[in-house]
Amino acid sequence: MKAPFLPPMSLGLRCLNNFGTARIESSLLYSTKLWCCQTMQRQYDHRKLTATQKYDLVVIGGGSGGLACAKEAAGYGAKVAVLDYVTPSPHGTVWGLGGTCVNVGCIPKKLMHQAALLGKSVKDAAAFGWSVPPAELQLNWHQLVTAVTNHVGSLNWGHRVALRDKRVTYLNASGTLLDRHTVLAKDRKDVETVLQTDNVVLATGGRPRYPTFAGAELAITSDDLFRLRQPPGRTLCVGGSYVSLECAGFLTGLGFDTSVLLRSIPLRGFDQQMAGLVVSAMENLGTRVVRGSEPLRLERTAAGRLRVSLTPSGDGQPPDEEYDTVLLAVGRDPDTRRLGLDALGVTTDPRSGKIVTDPGNRTSVDNIYAIGDIVQGAPELTPTAIVSGRLLADRLYGGSSQLLDLATVPTTVFTPLEYSCVGLSEESAAEMAGGDDQLEVYHAFYRPLEFIIPGRDTSSCYIKAVCERREPQRVLGLHFIGPNAGEVLQGFAVAMRHGMTMESLRQAIGIHPTSAEEVVKLNISKRSGRDPTVTGC
């Protein structure tokens, strides 16, 4: 159903916004406020309001999911607009088009991870015969940040060009739903545009959570780290999330004295045996891990450092310590506050605040859809956001009925020793299968060839295939810790999607000499009790 034409509405909006009225219930309200608005119009004539524009689809949020959906829909001939607006972080960091992944997520973090790996490789090089400068390697933080920011800038530009090429209208403006067919776009100069649309896709992603302890606002988050003007110095990463561990890992590798503060378990939701190995590899590489504690208070010292008071930990950790930077990575919240969901009756999950959708991404309001990180139960990953955006456009405009299959989504934690997995953790598989005895778990500790000459620690290089016990032993989860873990597991993820079994894995021919071949050589089960350490070639 289309919204009635509402000529006075835009005028009414302008008035209501100037008064700061939070919610607008119906078009009737706009009309009754008309007189008041006409009066206000004279006082607020610095605001410009373009004419109402009409679209087939308005996408709110120009990140991984939103851009993919918009471009795909435009490819079918739909008239599409994308709104993207970045609210500055509490420390004032802002960025361009493309969302979290491009600007403050996957891309800058992988580049910083790579910078850290290179530092380690330079040290390894000496063992392979290179004459490496004898002095301690020094990182130029400013140069690293500039290189990363320049690359991100080129991606921002690429996204703008791609939208233009597809004839998608891009507004660098914040979107709010006024009714199910009307979106108000407001740019940073408060210029407002009203968009009428048949369908709306919400793709506003998430932002880092700020805990409530005193002084938390002095800490930064991953929204700030990749653009810090000054080197972070001695850093405390708060939280056991992958974001916390990844940042702590590359900061350690870049030469900063870095600690991780774990209140409970690391990498919640991941296989816990693997998580333990990831953390122990980090400790071996120099990251200090403080367990069983959380911040009570953060304050700025006279010398400009940050004093962190902690809850007592079992580790005998001093209750107060000083850092140059405290990075909070204790989770992310959906960025839905500005969308006006309550007034429209869009159902959200009371605990997570995420939007509840059906498998086809439809919310409780039938022409409003949601994709990506804001969807309850969806993995918070770029590829799933992209595919779900594309598939939604295919269903809306391309006559498709295909849904996103989340059964075998691979992912990688880019800690110094990377961890990649696809399918179920051992814990979830046991729960699903009805107990440990329904599973057969094959595993191996192996030594990557490139680690041997420089004498790198290999004690966490481990592979595990969690399988059904009954033949043909379908692989339910595959886990790999080692160099280039994501590159190793991507192909196996394809096989998993097609029902890979232990039998098919064993029949595969390995590529020698690689770490990936250790996956196809898995043959020792946990149940056998045999030593899973790989020896020889």
Residues in contact with ligand FAD, shown as a per-residue x/- string from 261 to 290 under the rule CB under 6 A: ------------------------------
Q: Least distance in Å: CB of 89 to ligand FAD? A: 11
> Strand pairing of 80-83 and 169-171?
parallel
Joined together, the tokens standing for residue 132 give 């490496």
Nearest residue to ligand FAD, using CB?
A: 63
- C-beta of 27 vs 64, nearer to ligand FAD: 64
- Subset of residues 242 to 261 that bind ligand FAD, contact rule: CB under 6 A: 243
Residues 6+ apart with CB under 8 A from 172: 84, 85, 97, 187, 188
Identity (one letter) of the amino acid at 376?
A: Q
Q: Least distance in Å: CB of 41 to ligand FAD? A: 25
- C-beta of 243 vs 430, nearer to ligand FAD: 243
Q: Looking up tokens 């219930």, which residue turns up?
A: 25
Do the beta carbons of residue 422 and residue 496 sit within 8 Å?
yes
- Subset of residues 188 to 217 that bind ligand FAD, contact rule: CB under 6 A: 203-205
- C-beta of 239 vs 532, nearer to ligand FAD: 239
Candidates 166, 234, 338, 521; binder of ligand FAD (CB under 6 A) is 338
- C-beta of 262 vs 439, nearer to ligand FAD: 262
Q: Is 380 in the site for ligand FAD (CB under 6 A)?
A: yes
Q: Looking up tokens 């991941």, which residue turns up?
A: 270
Q: Is 60 in the site for ligand FAD (CB under 6 A)?
A: yes
- C-beta of 199 vs 382, nearer to ligand FAD: 382
CA distance between the termini of the chain: 67
Tell me how far apart the alpha carbons of residues 341 and 348 are, in angstroms, rounded to a whole number.
Answer: 8
Q: Is 99 in the site for ligand FAD (CB under 6 A)?
A: yes
Q: Looking up tokens 């056998």, which residue turns up?
A: 528
Q: Looking up tokens 């009805």, which residue turns up?
A: 434
- What's CA 308's distance to the chain center, in Å? 27
Candidates 62, 249, 340, 477; binder of ligand FAD (CB under 6 A) is 62
Q: Least distance in Å: CB of 211 to ligand FAD? A: 16
Q: Would residue 512 show up in a list of annotated catalytic residues for this protein?
A: yes
Angle between helices 242-253 and 272-284 (to 10 degrees): 20
Q: Least distance in Å: CB of 243 to ligand FAD? A: 4
Residues 6+ apart with CB under 8 A from 468: 433, 438, 439, 440, 474, 476
* Given 46, 142, 479, 512, the catalytic residue: 512
Helices of type H across 335-464: 341-344, 382-397, 426-433, 449-452
Identity (one letter) of the amino acid at 295?
A: P
- C-beta of 104 vs 285, nearer to ligand FAD: 104
Q: Is 416 in the site for ligand FAD (CB under 6 A)?
A: no
- C-beta of 338 vs 521, nearer to ligand FAD: 338
Joined together, the tokens standing for residue 89 give 């972080």
Helices of type H across 136-183: 141-165
Tell me how far apart the alpha carbons of residues 183 and 83 are, in angstroms, rounded to a whole number.
Answer: 10
Candidates 325, 382, 420, 460; binder of ligand FAD (CB under 6 A) is 382
User: In whole angstroms, how large is the CA radius of gyration of the chain?
Assistant: 26
Q: Is 65 in the site for ligand FAD (CB under 6 A)?
A: yes
Q: Least distance in Å: CB of 311 to ligand FAD? A: 25
Residue 507, Cβ neighbours under 10 Å: how many? Answer: 9
Segment interacting with ligand FAD (CB under 6 A) among 33-41, 102-110, 157-165, 506-514: 102-110
Kindly determine how many residues on this chain lie close enough to bind ligand FAD according to the rule CB under 6 A: 34
The site for ligand FAD (CB under 6 A) is made up of: 60-66, 83-86, 99-101, 105-106, 109, 174-175, 203-205, 222, 243, 335, 338-339, 372-373, 380-383, 385
- Would you name the residues annotated as active-site residues? 512
